[in-house]
Homo-oligomer: A and B are copies of this chain.
Amino acid sequence: MGNMKEYTIAVVGATGAVGQKMIQLLEKSEIPLKELKLLASARSAGKTATFKGKEYKIEETTNESFKNVDIALFSAGGSITKAFEKAARESGAVVIDNTSAFRMDENTPLVVPEVNAEALHNHNQLIANPNCSTTQMVVALKPIKEAFGLSRVIVSTYQAVSGAGVEALEELDTQTASVLKGEEVEASILPSAGDKKHYQMAFNVIPQIDLFSDEGYTFEEWKMINETKKIMGMPNLKVSATCVRVPVKYGHSESVYIEIDKDDVSVADLRAVLADAPGIIVQDDPSTQLYPLATESEDKKDTFVGRIRKDPDDKKGFHLWIVSDNLIKGAAWNSIQIAETMIDMNLI
């Protein structure tokens, strides 16, 4: 960290899957901490959480919660962000929001530090953290764009159940146990708690994440399409997406097809550029069956890339297999990394 200032940090949504990861990551962060405030809904207020061996009481989020807070990390759903971001900013806090509430707002930077840290200069005390499936993809796309140009992205995802929250993880376990015992399976959360119909997730794949939006796409798919264009600063980049939930607990996997501008790039060239890029670990060796696996990504900050191949029928087409822990780089770590980067840039 570039200075000796100490910061008061609030975590809004401290009892959620992402909030819990934020607390764990803050324990290891280099940010000099003056005070930590753990906030949640009235329902969770009074519970406790441990931070650096000390017990912290979780408080209800109110407009008064943000007094003397320097950095407010929001991850409690878009409605909570919309309800409290103004109070937080008026109290002087910089809000780093992990919900979709302000991601496409043109006055709000949408930031993945490896990709577009420079956008942080335009913050108005509010920075949006992208959708998990977008974040890991743009980490890999950025160095490719810089080295070879990029014209097109077609992605199919294999997304972990933890992205749907703690209750969805419990439902996966319960359903899985039922299938193994030959019992009837009950579904009440997945694919989306807010939707009408619920389907078995155990031993199944569900091609729906979030609710359906227009043109037959889900909101999750539109997030990947629109957020990628915004973060990459490429409004004309062709992006299309199919988002699918798989019975995995942690770690999103993505089959990403890209078209680059140059037609004389080899797989070795692409691999070298990715290996040199920040935040990426290349795992790509067919001779030793080395490729990224969701189970191996758990609790790691990196984005793992492998299965790098050229389209046999298109010199500019390549496949990538991109894996990262959706709760870490896809959510909690990217938020804290934004805070660390802003401190380094003397923006907080």
Contact = CB atoms under 8 A, between A and B. Distances in A.
Contact of A216 (B240, B246, B286): B286
Given A180-B173, A216-B286, A307 B203 contact: no
Number of copies: 2
A321 B306 CA distance: 24
**For the side of the interface on A, what is the size category?**
35 or more
Contact of A203 (B191, B199, B249): B249
Contacts of A238: 311, 313-314
A294 interface: yes
Contacts of A255: 156, 207, 242, 244, 255
Interface of A: 152, 154, 156, 158, 173, 176-177, 180, 191, 195-197, 199-200, 203-208, 212, 215-217, 225, 238-240, 242, 244, 246-249, 253, 255, 257, 267, 284, 286-289, 291-295, 306-314, 317, 319, 321
A321 B209 CA distance: 14
A245 to B, nearest CB: 11
A309 B215 contact: yes
A156 to B, nearest CB: 4
Given A247-B247, A287-B212, A309 B217 contact: yes
A293 B245 CA distance: 11
21 contacts: A156-B156, A177-B180, A196-B289, A197-B288, A203-B247, A205-B294, A207-B253, A207-B255, A207-B306, A207-B321, A212-B289, A215-B312, A216-B309, A217-B309, A225-B312, A238-B313, A240-B311, A240-B314, A242-B255, A244-B253, A246-B246
